[in-house]
Amino acid sequence: MLRYKKYDLKTMCLASCVCSAVTLVYNLFISGYSQIAVPVLLLMLAVRLVSSVIFTAVITKQLADKIAKAGVLNGYAIGQNTAVDLEA
């Protein structure tokens, strides 16, 4: 969708939420989650969404930005984008 060209917080949050929803649907069929009551499934989805946004989007984004700022990722797109932002 964004072809690995956008690394902002909004994109990271969207990616983590989509991944959480897709894995829950996958588990409905593969792991037998379809036997669980709907309110419990909704609670599971909420916990997955919150934890994925915190761990995947926020913590990972901050860590990657700091590593890119240090120059470790200069050979990658995120490092090149950060280098452009620092010069401006």
pLDDT: which is higher, 84 or 64 = 64
Give the pLDDT of residue 35. Answer: 94
Q: What is the CA radius of gyration of the chain?
A: 17
Give the pLDDT of residue 84. Answer: 45
Domain residue ranges in the chain? 9-87
pLDDT: which is higher, 11 or 6 = 11
Q: DSSP character for 37?
A: -
Q: How far apart are CA 85 and CA 8, in angstroms?
A: 13
Give the pLDDT of residue 68. Answer: 81
Give the pLDDT of residue 38. Answer: 94
Q: How far apart are CA 29 and CA 12, in angstroms?
A: 27
> pTM for this one?
0.67
Render pLDDT for 14-39 as a digit per residue (tens, 0 to 9). 888 999 999 999 999 999 999 999 99
